[in-house]
Structure 1
Amino acid sequence: MTEPLALRSEAETLASPLPALLAEAEHLATAVLLGEHGRRRAGVGDTFWQYRPAQPYDEARSIDWRRSARSDSNFVQDKEWQIAQSIILWVDQAASMSFHSDDNLPTKGQRARTLGMATAILLIRGGERVGLTGLRLPPRSGEAQLMQMAQLLSTQDDADYGAPEAQGMLPHSRALFISDFMGDMAPVEAALLRAADRGVRGALLQVLDPQEEAFPFDGRTIFESMSGTLSHETLKAGDLKTRYLDRLAERKDRLAHLARTTGWQFSTHHTGESAAAALLWLYGALERRV
């Protein structure tokens, strides 16, 4: 398990050379206004916008008890959206992310967590609210939020491969999914289509180990999943190389097409490459208006 303080320190170091990131959505330019001129969107302004049913992540103090008393449900007052933009992160914590082919390389999970945290640091420094998918950590700002995020991202799931969640995404917000995307594609497609239906735009970053791109195997080889639940033995691993690389290329094309279809951005990052370069790409991808 990665220590939260170590993860936070590594992410801070990676984020420090970059200016504060303002994750601009399509409407952000007109929403950032001076004075009391808010935009009719939910957010952090002082002017009432609408009532909505309370969600599990809403704090008790945010509930309007007078309005709730007139119904069997609890209601929250949404305020006018003025500055803060909500960004939801999903960082794959499945067993497959614990792979690395060389002790001098980070695991895919280590690189993914560092990039996710560094992105969160830049966003929060820019005045944004950042959270995690699946209602685990609703979007908020501040140093305490970063610490909670580091703690949650320091754990590992038992599943072989991860699947993103669209639950908890606010309409017209931004999102970032970081994974190797080596598992079933159906949950990825479902999450992105659900996000697109809510007007959510964002970025997919695929993190791979260099060995997963090169497939340097030959002769008798045993391939096992990181959890040990899946295993395949072959006497002629070299014969699988072309088929494997073709399927990997097809998967990348599928991810790229899905991103284009839903208005997201897609890129692949290798753990042998500069983490700062990947963070720069995320900077541009989340800042870009689509």
Structure 2
Amino acid sequence: MTTPEALRAEASDAASAFPPLLAEAEHLATTVLLGEHGRRRAGMGDAFWQYRPAQAIDEARNIDWRRSARADAHFVREKEWQIAQSVMMWIDRSASMGFSSDKDLPTKANRARLIGLAAAILLFRGGERVGLTGLNLPARAGQMQLMRLAGALSEEDETEYGAPVARGMLPHSRAIFISDFLGEIGDVEAALTDAADRGVRGVLLQVLDPQEEAFPFDGRTIFESMKGGLQHQTLKAGDLRDRYLERLAERKGHLADLAHRTGWQVSSHHTSQSAAAALLWIHGALGRHT
């Protein structure tokens, strides 16, 4: 079992490249007034919820040794408050998110990380537990968890476009998905359907570069994905504008329909806009799910 000291050193090393981002996230979080966001209620914390297999990040004191003695694996005993106050995040780190049309604008990935980390800070201050979807970073609270989040989000995904992950989402918890959502819409639909089946409600924030919204291209243009796997060359880019904008509107409409059918909420954000506005929307939207 990994010791707390080893975890602390590992998290500090992983997040060592992120002091400016963490500082910016802390500053951004202070711009949003924290209201009664936590879900502390009398009696919650004593009610048993479920056993789950222990993970490397779990401390030895959290193991239920009596339950573990009846099997060949270690189990953690979770209580109801751990579920009710858990928020799971999926922040797209695919190649598509590395795009920026202007050196003075952040990449979509950097903006997504900033908003995600600032949201985590607000949630921690409200008594919430935050983790990443998947099985590598379960929901926990505290400054060390923030460092783990920063370290995990520094890892890049080698795929062209991100696909949401619903694994590891606790029943009846809440979730935040941040992406450009320009990949396969079927992946988003599968993740939201899976989440809804578990009683999970959350928010979708679509982060786009201003050029992706306006399509200001004309004449000879070569369009290429960030990893070069997709390419299209045209002599009349302006002729593609109407069709592109139509397809983008269709994608936004599909996301809105998915959110409506699964009980989620959706909004869009441009990297040229204030990150505070997007954070405020997430904070308010999550509050409506409590």
Superposed displacement of residue 54, structure 1? 1.7
Change (3 A) 1:112 1:103: same
Superposed displacement of residue 231, structure 1? 1.1
Contact persistence 1:23–1:174 (CA under 8 A):
no
In the other structure, the counterpart of 1:64 is 64
In the other structure, the counterpart of 2:161 is 161
Change (3 A) 1:84 1:22: farther
Change (3 A) 1:199 1:161: same
Amino acid at match of 2:167: Q
1:33 matched to 2:41? The reply is yes
Amino acid at match of 2:270: H
Change (3 A) 1:138 1:21: farther
Amino acid at match of 1:148: R
Q: Which residue among 30, 54, 58 is the counterpart of 1:16?
A: 30
Change (3 A) 1:22 1:5: farther
Amino acid at match of 1:11: A
Distance across 2 between alignment mates of 1:64 and 1:126: 27
Change (3 A) 1:62 1:105: same
Contact persistence 2:119–2:282 (CA under 8 A):
yes
- Residue 286 of structure 2 aligns to a residue whose secondary structure is helix
Which ranges in structure 2 are unaligned for 5 or more consecutive residues?
1-14
Amino acid at match of 2:208: L
In the other structure, the counterpart of 1:79 is 79
Change (3 A) 1:118 1:138: same
What are the equivalent positions in structure 2 for 1:156-235 lying under 5 Å apart?
156-235=156-235
Distance across 2 between alignment mates of 1:99 and 1:110: 10
What are the equivalent positions in structure 2 for 1:34-53 lying under 5 Å apart?
34=42, 37-38=43-44, 45=45, 47=46, 49=48, 52-53=51-52
Distance across 1 between alignment mates of 2:270 and 2:107: 10
- Residue 18 of structure 1 aligns to a residue whose secondary structure is coil
Superposed displacement of residue 18, structure 1? 1.7
Which ranges in structure 1 are unaligned for 5 or more consecutive residues?
39-44
Change (3 A) 1:74 1:238: same
Q: What percentage of aligned pairs have identical amino acids?
A: 62
- Residue 81 of structure 1 aligns to a residue whose secondary structure is helix
Contact persistence 1:53–1:76 (CA under 8 A):
yes
Contact persistence 1:202–1:265 (CA under 8 A):
yes
Superposed displacement of residue 10, structure 1? 1.1
Distance across 1 between alignment mates of 2:80 and 2:218: 61
Superposed displacement of residue 2, structure 1? 9.6
Amino acid at match of 1:12: E
Distance across 1 between alignment mates of 2:80 and 2:61: 18
Deviation per CA, 1:9-49, whole angstroms, max 9, x where unpaired? 1111111122236656xxx4xxx324xx23xxxxxx2x362
Superposed displacement of residue 254, structure 1? 0.1
Contact persistence 2:207–2:270 (CA under 8 A):
yes
Contact persistence 2:91–2:179 (CA under 8 A):
yes
In the other structure, the counterpart of 1:90 is 90
Distance across 2 between alignment mates of 1:156 and 1:150: 12
Distance across 2 between alignment mates of 1:68 and 1:156: 35
Superposed displacement of residue 218, structure 1? 1.0
Count of aligned residue pairs for this structure pair: 275
Distance across 2 between alignment mates of 1:77 and 1:85: 16
Superposed displacement of residue 136, structure 1? 2.1
Superposed displacement of residue 73, structure 1? 4.6
Amino acid at match of 2:184: D
